[in-house]
Amino acid sequence: MSGLASQHNQQMECGKMTAANDASMSVAQFEDHAARTDQLEFGEIGTSILGLVGEVGSLVSAVKKKRRDTDGFFGYRDAVVEELGDVLWYLSAVARRGGSSLVNLTRGLHHGPNFATFDNAVATQRTETLESALLGLAGGTGHLAKRKGAETKDTDVAALHNDLSYILGLLGEVARAAEVTLTEAAIRNVVKTEDRWPTQRVFPPLLDEGLHIDEQLPRQMRVLIYEREVNGTRFVFQKAGGFLLGDRLTDNHLPEDDFRFHDVFHLAYAAVLGWSPTTRALLKIKRKSQKALDENEDGARANLIEEGLTTWIFETAKQHRFFANTPKLGLDILKDVKRFVRGYEAEKLPMWLWESAILQGYAVFRQLQTARIGVVLTDLNRREIWFEDMTSEDRESCGMKD
């Protein structure tokens, strides 16, 4: 994690930013981080403008839900802070592609003597309601998109700068009316984007590091997975070390969709994340020496969370050819994954590692779909899972003929 993110990560608890009075971030710091995590095609300003418009729409949607559902919309403040941060990020992306910068935009907002931080540079004394401030912001971004769409020549840099400076001022009004700060939003965005697109990918410590080997997930595994017919019904079996693991499985679904092979996802979580209450239960390696871990992290509820998460991702994957042509997962999916495991140790694991676990697991799943029989190997030290064909000895141990 970058120094900027780690500096403020101490103020995060269960993914929520506290309102610490000493939290600060300069406009230049945020802009530097936004540039380093920018995955968009650099020369295409239209895409970043569409992203900006889309994030403003998400911000409006969050406020609409609050007005519609009143107290039924939980996490309203968090949602507004996160969406404001996303708008800031895209504003930075548009400015960068238009030959400007957030720092330059703040110079056009003559508020306060200190332009270094968002809340000084974008200070506002206006008293619009939140709804009117949002309508102004939506109108400002809509005007930007309309003008850009009508351009028949290169971008008018001066006009773009003025539009973006105006939008930044409107964003400050929205933050004030929502009783949050742009600094909070910037910090939240840095933590989130570092979790998704870190400057350097470093594996976090294993969750069972330091415990007795009897309570650790195996650092290497070799699991035989095969399908065979019993009394007219096809089942999937798993075997490791000569012993069957768990129950024989069917899809439990019509039409059939090969969910019977879904234990490979639990193996992927164990191999890449170092987390899988389900795998611990199958192997009978719960952390009994640690009462809190045994009851909460390795217990039935954690197992249900993992099973539910696996089923939900599977339904999403079915709509995308089981991620066959998906080199990376959308941020929304990964955010939902983190929400799913909130309150459990798996919440600490970064989004990029979740992405790796999911995509590696589905790569093996697709091979099992085709072969219907094979060996799944895992290496927790390398955070990898892969597929191999069975040997003759493997097939014999499964009661199958060559």
pLDDT tens per residue across span 127-139: 578 889 999 999 9
Say what the pLDDT of residue 153 is. Answer: 66
Average pLDDT over residues 168-186: 91
Could you tell me if residue 165 is inside a domain? Answer: yes
Residues 141 and 285 in one domain: no
Q: Which of 310, 324, 313 is nearest to 370 (CA)?
A: 324
Say what the pLDDT of residue 1 is. Answer: 47
Say what the pLDDT of residue 63 is. Answer: 82
What is the pTM (predicted TM-score) of this model? 0.86
Residues 217 and 175 in one domain: no
pLDDT more than 70, % of the chain: 86
Could you tell me if residue 201 is inside a domain? Answer: no
Say what the pLDDT of residue 62 is. Answer: 85
Structural domain boundaries, residue 128: 3-196
Say what the pLDDT of residue 77 is. Answer: 86
Say what the pLDDT of residue 187 is. Answer: 95
Could you tell me if residue 175 is inside a domain? Answer: yes
Say what the pLDDT of residue 8 is. Answer: 44
Say what the pLDDT of residue 171 is. Answer: 93
Could you tell me if residue 18 is inside a domain? Answer: yes
Residues 387 and 245 in one domain: yes
Residues 177 and 236 in one domain: no
Residues 227 and 259 in one domain: yes
Residues 18 and 141 in one domain: yes
Residues 387 and 329 in one domain: yes
Tell me how many domains the chain contains. 2
Whether residue 173 contacts residue 123, with contact meaning beta carbons closer than 8 Å, is answered with: no
Residues 55 and 85 in one domain: yes
Q: What is the CATH number of the domain that holds 54?
A: 1.10.4010
Alpha helices in 239-283 (DSSP H): 263-268, 277-283
Whether residue 69 contacts residue 79, with contact meaning beta carbons closer than 8 Å, is answered with: no
Confidence band for 40, pLDDT divided at 50, 70 and 90: confident
pLDDT tens per residue across span 188-233: 999 999 999 998 999 999 999 999 999 999 999 999 999 999 999 9
Q: How far apart are CA 227 and CA 136, in angstroms?
A: 60
Boundary of a domain, candidates 143, 171, 196:
196
Q: How far apart are CA 279 and CA 229, in angstroms?
A: 25
Boundary of a domain, candidates 171, 196, 221:
196
Could you tell me if residue 83 is inside a domain? Answer: yes
